[in-house]
Amino acid sequence: MTDIAISYNRPVARGRELFGSLVRWGHIWHPGADSATTISFSKDVTIDGHALAAGRYSLWTIPDAPPKPWTVIFNRGVGGWHTNYPGESQDALRISVSSETGPHMETLTYYFPVVDADSAVLRLQWGTVIVPMKIKATQ
């Protein structure tokens, strides 16, 4: 069994236009508020087929307007503020993920709509934008 833990604070839309306005296309964005969001894995995993070692990472993105994919970044720099990206030299993994559209989610959330014996889908959702990532245990 692989344990996955996500620690984050939740910004609220409050009627604002989110992506392409509050969150600029093509710029590093931290999907959370206050302290940087972290995700940890108790064992090695793959994220959308790309290897990621067990450990704790801060989570960052570079959103892009559909149909262009988002870049999702797992960074070794943890414990920082959500506005201070630790830099590419600390990146453990960068993946391209196609965003989806869904019903409006007022408060940013991360959830697992699908969990199987050795895999799960993690979704980041805020407003009508969903960024899904397939996580698979490798051990």
List, for residues 21-67, the tens digit of each pLDDT value: 999 999 999 999 999 999 999 999 999 999 999 999 999 999 999 99
Compute the average pLDDT of residues 105-127.
97
The percentage of residues in the chain with a pLDDT greater than 70, rounded to a whole number, is 100
Confidence band for 92, pLDDT divided at 50, 70 and 90: very high
User: Residues 101-125: what's their mean pLDDT?
Assistant: 97
Given a contact cutoff of 8 angstroms between Cβ atoms, the answer to whether 5 and 39 are in contact is yes
